[in-house]
């Protein structure tokens, strides 16, 4: 069993009333084996289909440059490489900080008429962490790192850096994560 600790960055706008559809612009992931060893990383930018010009807010939040998404492949090509990297023919679980990432993958797959069966085995580390720590409600990744006395490395809101930081929390509780896939379709925000 491999655990795919992932984080997505997507198009976004300061004015949330614009009703524009978010699209993934970065996939960052760390692959961890059953022994808790990091055995690979995946990081690629994606060129958005609907709104290819990033908002100033998005560029500031993610530090992703327009030229990086301009030079990137489209979602359909990147997701094919991502699924190959995961090796979806072998047992794996997608793990993210909340349900947002799974939902966004589903939205982008729908936009590109791609299948979503590969998203079935997913857990929210954020929600399970809150349960493990007996917190009243789920907290952000940065706060969880502080609780664990772990440093936030890299740039927050960059997919690969956030995936690496989430992986540190995941490894700290290896063996305690519940692989219950019944309630993973949630649309909760990060």
- Which residues are within 8 A (CB) of 154 and not within 5 positions of it... i.e. 6 or more apart? 160, 161, 162, 164, 165
| In-domain check, residue 120 | yes
Angle between helix 125-132 and 159-172 (nearest 10): 30
| In-domain check, residue 161 | yes
Question: What CATH number is given to the structural domain containing 144?
Answer: 3.30.420.10
**Number of domain units in the chain:** 1
| In-domain check, residue 181 | no
Distance CA 35, CA 2 (A): 9
> Whole-model pTM?
0.93
pLDDT, position 182:
57
| In-domain check, residue 178 | no
Convert the pLDDT of each residue in 21-42 to its tens digit.
999 999 999 999 999 999 999 9
Which residues span the domain enclosing 18?
Answer: 2-172
């Amino acid at each position: 069993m491999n655990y795919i600790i992932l984080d997505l960055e997507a198009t976004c706008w300061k004015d949330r009333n614009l009703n524009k559809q978010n699209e993934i612009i970065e996939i960052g992931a760390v692959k961890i084996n059953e022994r808790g060893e990091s055995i690979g990383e995946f990081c690629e930018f994606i060129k958005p289909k609907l709104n290819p010009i990033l908002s100033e807010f998005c560029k500031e939040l993610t530090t992703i440059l327009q030229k990086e998404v301009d030079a990137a492949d489209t979602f359909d090509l990147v997701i094919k490489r991502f699924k190959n990297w995961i090796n979806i023919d072998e047992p794996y679980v997608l793990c993210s900080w909340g349900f947002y990432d799974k939902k966004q993958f589903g939205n982008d797959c729908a936009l590109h008429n791609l299948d979503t069966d590969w998203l079935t085995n997913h857990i929210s580390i954020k929600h399970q962490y809150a349960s493990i720590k007996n917190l009243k409600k789920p907290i952000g990744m940065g706060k969880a790192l502080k609780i664990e006395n772990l440093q936030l490395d890299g740039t927050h809101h960059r997919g690969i850096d956030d995936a690496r930081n989430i992986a540190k929390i995941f490894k700290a509780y290896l063996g305690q994560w519940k692989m219950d896939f019944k309630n993973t379709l949630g649309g909760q925000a990060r």
